[in-house]
Chain A
Amino acid sequence: MNPKGLQVSTPTDTTIVLTRTFNAPRRLVWEAMTNPARMRRWMLAPPGWTLAVCECEARVGGALRLAWKSEDADPVMTLQGKFTEVVPHARMVHTETMVMGSGETIGSLLETHEFEEKNGVTTMRITQTYDSKAARDGAVASGMENGMEAGFQQMDALLAQPA
C-alpha cells in the first residue's frame, strides 16, 4: 500500500505542486517515469483514446513526446517537450506543450520532478509552472473534465492483470 496519497497545492498563481510517495526505490520510480515501455503501463488515456506515441529521452536536450489518438474521429492530442535539466534518479526538468489535432497549442508549462528516497520509499514532487494564471486554472479545470471515472476503470483493468 502506498504510505501517503497524492497531495496537490497551488502555492502561487501560476504553479501546481503535486507530491506523492511511492513504496519503491527512486531508481525504479525514475525508470517507470522515463522508460517509454514502462510509461505506457500507467499513463492512462481517457476512454475512446489510445496512446499512439510514447517517446522519452531523459537527457539534456532530449525530447518528450506523447500522442493520443481518438478512436472515433481524427483528433490527435500531442504533448511535447524538451528536457532542460537531468540528474538521473534525482531531478528532471522539461518543457511541455499540448498541441491539438488542429495545430492549436493549448498552454505551455515547465515541469520539474524531484525524487527523494528514504528507507526504500520515494517522495516525488512535481512542480508545474504555467505561463499565466489563466493557463494554470485551465489545467486544473481540464483535469476535472478528463473523467476520473475512466481513469479508475482502466486502473481496475490494470490491477486485475497478473503481476
Chain B
Amino acid sequence: MVLDRSPRLDLVFHALAHPARRAIIRQLSGGERNLSELASPLRMTFPGATKHVRVLERAKLVRRRVVGRQHLCRLRAAPLKEATLWTEQFRRNWEARFEALDSLLDQMKSEEQSRSPRR
C-alpha cells in the first residue's frame, strides 16, 4: 500500500491526540494566553503545561514568545486546517455511502409500514 507520508501531519495528529493539548488549543482559540493561565484550568504545574506546549510548538500549532517572565502562547491555524482537510476527504467518502444507506432505510421503513398498516 502507498502510505501517505507526511511527517508534519504526524506531528499535528500526535499533538492533537492528548486531551490536555486539545484543551490548550480550545483556550488559545480565544486569543493569546500566558502559559500559567493555560496551566491553571488544567490543574497542571507550570512544567507540566510547558511540556504540552512544546509538543504543540513542534507541530507548529502554537507559537510562544517570552516577554519578561511571561510566556505568551498563540495559536497558529494553518496546520490545523491541513489536518481538517485531510480527514474531510475521508469523511466525505464515508458520508457518500451513508447517504445511500439513508435512502435504503427510508425504503425499509415504508416497506414495513405497508406490511402493517395499523402501525
B3–A134 touching, CB < 8 Å: yes
- Cβ contact of B105, chosen from A24, A144, A146, cutoff 8 A: A24
Query: At the interface with chain B, which of A62-70, A80-88, A147-155?
Result: A147-155
**Binary contact track A133-163/B, C-beta < 8 Å → 1, others 0:** 1100111111110101001101100110001
Tell me, yes or no, whether A103 is within 8 Å of chain B by CB.
no
A13 in contact with B14 (CB, 8 Å): yes
Bound-state Cα–Cα, A33 to B87, Å? 23
B90 & A143 in contact (Cβ 8 Å cutoff): yes
* A28/B109 in contact, CB under 8 A: yes
Query: Are B100 and A138 in contact, with the CB atoms below 8 A?
Result: no
Query: Which of B17, B86, B89, B98 contacts A11, CB < 8 Å?
Result: B17
Q: Which residues of B contact A159 (CB under 8 A)?
A: 100, 103
Per-residue A-contact encoding for B89-101, CB less than 8 Å = 1, 0 else: 1111111111111
How many residues on the B side are at the interface (Cβ–Cβ under 8 A)? Answer: 35
Number of interface residues of A (CB under 8 A): 47
User: Closest CB of chain A to B18's CB: distance in Å?
Assistant: 9
- B10 / chain A contacts, CB cutoff of 8 Å: 133, 137
Task: Report if B67 contacts A (CB, 8 A).
Answer: no
Instruction: Compute how far the CA of A137 lies from the CA of B27 in the bound complex, rounded to whole angstroms.
Output: 27
Judge whether B97 and A151 touch: CB under 8 Å.
yes
A-chain residues with CB within 8 Å of residue B3 when the two chains form the complex: 134, 137-138, 141
Distance in angstroms from A150 CB to nearest chain B CB is 9
Over the window 25-58 of chain A, the binary record of Cβ atoms lying under 8 Å from chain B Cβ atoms (1 yes, 0 no) is 0001101110000100111100000000000000
Q: What residues of chain B lie closer than 8 Å to A20, measured between beta carbons?
A: 95, 98
Q: Which of B4, B96, B100, B106 contacts A163 (CB 8 A)?
A: B106
Residue B110 is within 8 A (CB to CB) of chain A in the complex: yes
Min Cβ gap A111→B in Å is 13
Q: Which residues of A contact B (CB under 8 A)?
A: 2, 5-13, 16, 18, 20, 22-24, 28-29, 31-33, 38, 41-44, 106-107, 133-134, 137-144, 146, 148, 151-152, 154-155, 158-159, 163
28 A-B pairs with CB atoms under 8 Å apart are A2-B98, A6-B94, A6-B98, A8-B94, A9-B87, A10-B87, A11-B17, A13-B13, A13-B14, A13-B17, A24-B106, A24-B109, A28-B108, A28-B109, A32-B108, A33-B101, A38-B104, A42-B100, A44-B96, A107-B1, A133-B10, A140-B87, A142-B1, A144-B89, A144-B90, A148-B96, A151-B96, A158-B103
**Beyond A22-B105, A33-B101: 19 further Cβ-contacts under 8 Å?**
A10-B13, A16-B90, A20-B95, A23-B102, A23-B105, A28-B112, A42-B101, A107-B1, A137-B13, A140-B4, A140-B90, A144-B86, A148-B89, A148-B92, A148-B93, A151-B96, A154-B100, A158-B100, A158-B103
